[in-house]
Amino acid sequence: MQISLLQVELNKEKELNTDLMREKATLDHHSKELQIHILELETALTSDNINKGNKRLESQIEALSLALENETKQRFELARENKKVERQVKDLLYQISEKEKAKLRSDEEASKWEEKVKRLKSQLDELEMTENNLQLSKRRAEREAADEKEKSLRLERENEKLKTRLEKAIAASI
């Protein structure tokens, strides 16, 4: 989200930079026209009409000189503003680049963790399956042991009965 905001801000800065460059070109053109006009007026001063409009031409020259000076100041301000905008653009581009790198690192890290979680889930599933199999084997062994114990007790009772019968048979034959 910040990257898109930075992109929007970058685009605004680029538009501002373009506008400033257009204004600078306009001012340069206007400045050249003023310089040409000054030269024309200075030339007119040196001609035959020096006496007629001398004061008027001097005031025009002074006004044009002031306008030229103002244009020069504006051009300097535009150049300074342009450099400032360029620095901001470079800074924004650097920030975007760093955020993209951080996002890539974060995505890679998340991918690694997801793989680790998948491996651990798989191991857990295997362990649960092994535990279930062991529980089944244990119950089967317990049932078999109970069956064998019951069988053993039954055989002992039969053995006791046979002993008793044998003793009775021996006692009866004596």
Rounded distance between C-alpha atoms, residue 71 and residue 107, angstroms: 53
The predicted pLDDT at position 125 comes to: 95
Rounded distance between C-alpha atoms, residue 34 and residue 64, angstroms: 7
pLDDT digits (tens, 9 = 90+) for 32-59: 888 888 888 777 666 655 556 667 777 8
The predicted pLDDT at position 52 comes to: 62
Residue 162, token pair as written in the block: 């046979």
Rounded distance between C-alpha atoms, residue 163 and residue 39, angstroms: 149
Question: How many residues are present in the chain?
Answer: 174
pLDDT digits (tens, 9 = 90+) for 72-94: 899 899 889 989 988 998 998 89
The predicted pLDDT at position 55 comes to: 73
The predicted pLDDT at position 47 comes to: 63
The predicted pLDDT at position 99 comes to: 92
Rg for the chain, CA atoms, rounded = 52
In degrees and rounded to multiples of 5, residue 49 shows phi and psi of -90, 25
**pLDDT values of the chain reduced to their tens digit, one per residue, 174 residues:** 677 877 888 888 888 888 888 888 888 898 888 888 888 877 766 665 555 666 777 788 888 889 889 988 998 998 899 899 889 989 988 999 999 999 999 999 999 999 999 999 999 999 999 999 999 999 999 999 999 999 999 999 999 999 998 888 888 887
Rounded distance between C-alpha atoms, residue 34 and residue 40, angstroms: 10
Place of tokens 């003793």: 167
To 10 degrees, the CA torsion angle through 22, 26, 28, 30? -170
The predicted pLDDT at position 3 comes to: 75
Phi-psi region of 8 (alpha: psi -120 to 50; beta: other; left: phi over 0): alpha
